[in-house]
Structure 1
Amino acid sequence: MDLKTKRWFVLLASVAINLCIGSGYAWSVFAKPMVVLLGCTAAAATLAFTISNSFGPVTMILGGRMQDKFGPKWVIVGGAFLFAGGVFLTGFTTSVTWLYMSYGVLMGLGMGAIYSCTIANTVKFFPDKRGLVSGIATAGYGAGSILVPPLANALIASQGILATFRTLGIAYFIIIVVGSFFVMTAPAGYKPEGWNPPAPTATSTVSGEDKNWNQMLADPMFYVLLIMLTAGAFAGLMIISQASPIAQEVIKVTPAVAAVAVSMIALANTAGRIFWGWISDKIGRYVALTIMYIISGVAVFALTGISSYAAFLIAAMLVGLCFGGIMGIFPALTADMFGSKNNGVNYGIMFSGFAIAGLFGPMTAATVKASHNGDYTIAFIIAACCSVLGIVLTLVVRSKTKKNQEAALAAKA
């Protein structure tokens, strides 16, 4: 079997592994039971989800360097001990401090280490389909919150919240370790047989230049892209982390119906990664991003006046669809802008934008709710404003990139 065929097995294994670590998105199903168990506020419990997202980029950066030295397989195995161990230990929670250390720190560190390998390494195997494959690989991450919410809801109902975490931790460890043995290291500068990279044009997003993390941090465009990622992830993480409480408290549905909403939003999140990744290969990353920011901004603003379950589900799914697309496109966009050679470390640093959104998105919703008697309106407006910022910055980057490409082409001519 040639490498052009083997790379698809690497992709499938990476998707299965990401399905496990993506279960962190299912936090909203665990939120209310943990509040009841610990007798804490919703904001205090949500901080565990925030900590998890904040620690992920730490090991994404380290994992990118470690996979270059030891190979992605062993980094994934190490990440399995952290991630699955964190989930398992959450099953012994007696205080918010324990919850923060297990679900927050340990799970977050494991998530980042694994994600850095499954995404960056897989993208290197597919220079001919960066957007699509980046979307498929990250779709596994989003799919975790499709399957886990109804399963977790059933387990919580039958055996309680703590036993559910222990069961899931064991299952995640087995799946991740088995999947890791199907992941191989992408050869340096790999190009599939019969394919040659297209030459840069004035409208392409590909710079054609590999930059290491030092060079990337010295490039002002990195910081613009970082803010774009933060702005794009803000609304998605806010809705994903609070979907179940919002549905139960604002729309007045049962926990079971709210769990269905969480799964449907996760389905949109997953579909968005594949759909927008494919679209971005066709119409360009920046055009696709602009469309996503517009849809997400309109949808999250619409939530300020929605009172029916159907309308809530449609708006929330649109937010999830665009959030998934943004998260699916950015690994490819980072490789386009700064080269694929160092994309493991580079995207790990870029992913800190997700951590910033993971800090402020969920906490904004929880804080606004607490200070406005359960009303999320101001939080939704803030999220809509972030989408507007994303539109403006995308237009700026697109214009700047076009000018740079035109200057490069003129110099060559």
Structure 2
Amino acid sequence: MNSSFNRWKFLITACLVNFCTGSIYAWSVFAGPKAEQMSQLQNILYTAADLSIVFGLANAVGPLPMIFGGFINDRFGPGWLMTIGGLLIGSGLFLSGSASDMTTLILSYSLMFGLGLGLTYGATINTCVKLFPDRRGFAGGMATAFYGLCSVVLPPIAHMLTTDFGIQRSFEIVGTVCGAVICIGGLLSFLFVGKASGDQKKTAIVGGLTWRQMVSTKRFWKMLFFLCCGAVSGMMIISQSAGIASKQIGLSSALAATAVSYLALINTLGRVAAGTLSDRLGACRTLILSSLLTALGMVTLLFCGKGSIVMFFAALSLIGFSFGSFMGIYPGFTAAAFGAQHNSVNYGIMFTGFSFAGVLGPWIIKTLSAGGSFSSAYSVACCISLIGTLAGWIISRQDL
């Protein structure tokens, strides 16, 4: 009973830690003021677009610490990884505030913060999945949902901090608070996971493929492809949601910002709802349904025009919920397919499918919308989602 209670304590801790790990979402608010600060310090004109590589690299390095940290997490638990990750996240954000050139900003934000993010996110998600073998979808959905929730809550707070204290102090405040919370969560996890370890060994750590064995299976490559197809559309729309709202639908800047927040909220809710549904319906079936909903969302966007506000928000609901489904379900889906024993490493490798989608989705919409219309990008995304649906059906035939 005590072990079961402590796994719930860890889940709550992981949710709070992941909320702070999601501080990467403050970048959308920090980028403009940071570019202005660097322009003044260097007498070189920087724009928010010029700094986009910093944000992109921070996301791109994520799978590397997830894989490396996975070896440690599978053997010694999440405590050290979360604590070190918190120090890296806090220090990276704090130092980013005073960074005056691109090299320093890349070192502090892209590398320090990005590495800390990967270590922390991988440790929390995979430990939750291991501690809840009976409710993997729910546990993975909750832990990832709080990471996404930060994208709704933090940007307005970051905007307020930037207005009141300036960009350097804002980075330092967010870094200090988030780093401290994550480190405290890491230290607490020594108590919670340690006390629950006996139950964990009996229920969760039972067999499983190593990463070498996993990547040698056809099932892995099918699942990797399925994840990429499932995430492409979401990453595409997330990267351009404000532009679509203003250019295609004709919304004001205020309503366009509302659309961005709404998409983030639906994405967050989708992680919990779909994760819980997958525990009843099955992970693969839920993901197949999500792929079909994504395709429907893209078709809906194709028919949106000026003033189609209700239809536009309906499309965002379908796409955001489906994207959240893949993020919430896939950690447990990977553990179910290849065993929980090495899931920290295995999911880190599987996560590269999401990283690829994070590059491919924005590239597709940027390239195909160069003429001013998003229709071609929507059509391609719809086709990718339908191909993903077929991949999911093939996987489901293996009775996962």
User: What TM-score do you get using the length of structure 2 for normalisation?
Assistant: 0.87
Does the alignment pair 1:352 with 2:361? Answer: no
Give the match's secondary structure for 2:184: helix
Q: Using the alignment, how far apart are the partners of 2:288 and 2:392 within structure 1? A: 6
- State the partner residue of 1:239: 237
Amino acid at match of 2:323: F
* Residues 25 and 222 (structure 1), Cα distance of their counterparts in 2 relative to 1, 3 Å cut: farther
* Residues 14 and 281 (structure 1), Cα distance of their counterparts in 2 relative to 1, 3 Å cut: same
Does the alignment pair 1:109 with 2:107? Answer: no
Shift in Å at residue 9 of structure 1?
0.6
8 Å contact 1:149–1:262 — kept in the other structure? Answer: no
- Aligned residue pair count: 387
* Residues 302 and 46 (structure 1), Cα distance of their counterparts in 2 relative to 1, 3 Å cut: farther
Amino acid at match of 2:81: V
Does the alignment pair 1:67 with 2:73? Answer: yes
Q: How does 1:316-327 map to 2 (within 5 A)?
A: 316-327=316-327
Q: Using the alignment, how far apart are the partners of 1:42 and 1:247 within structure 2? A: 20
- State the partner residue of 1:379: 377
Amino acid at match of 1:18: N
Q: How does 1:29-178 map to 2 (within 5 A)?
A: 29-30=29-30, 39=45, 44-178=50-184
8 Å contact 1:296–1:384 — kept in the other structure? Answer: yes
| More displaced stretch, 390-399 vs 162-171 | 162-171
- State the partner residue of 1:179: 185
Does the alignment pair 1:328 with 2:316? Answer: no
Amino acid at match of 2:288: T
8 Å contact 1:64–1:116 — kept in the other structure? Answer: yes
* Residues 148 and 345 (structure 1), Cα distance of their counterparts in 2 relative to 1, 3 Å cut: same
Deviations 1:303-349 (A, max 9, x none): 34343444433322321111111111100110000001111111111
8 Å contact 2:67–2:344 — kept in the other structure? Answer: yes
Shift in Å at residue 26 of structure 1?
5.0
Does the alignment pair 1:260 with 2:270? Answer: no
Deviations 1:11-41 (A, max 9, x none): 0000001111123245444555566666557
Shift in Å at residue 152 of structure 1?
2.2
| More displaced stretch, 137-146 vs 238-247 | 238-247
Q: How does 1:208-227 map to 2 (within 5 A)?
A: 210-227=208-225
- State the partner residue of 1:343: 343
Structure 1 vs Structure 2 CA RMSD: 2.8
* Residues 333 and 17 (structure 1), Cα distance of their counterparts in 2 relative to 1, 3 Å cut: same
Q: Using the alignment, how far apart are the partners of 1:283 and 1:96 within structure 2? A: 48
Amino acid at match of 1:372: G
- State the partner residue of 1:205: none
Q: Using the alignment, how far apart are the partners of 1:174 and 1:11 within structure 2? A: 18
Deviations 1:364-385 (A, max 9, x none): 334445x335x44333333222
Q: Using the alignment, how far apart are the partners of 1:360 and 1:43 within structure 2? A: 18
| More displaced stretch, 333-342 vs 165-174 | 165-174
8 Å contact 2:94–2:171 — kept in the other structure? Answer: yes
Q: Using the alignment, how far apart are the partners of 1:154 and 1:365 within structure 2? A: 31
Amino acid at match of 1:383: A
Shift in Å at residue 353 of structure 1?
0.9
User: What TM-score do you get using the length of structure 1 for normalisation?
Assistant: 0.84
Does the alignment pair 1:388 with 2:386? Answer: yes
Q: Which runs of 5+ in 2 are unaligned?
A: 40-44
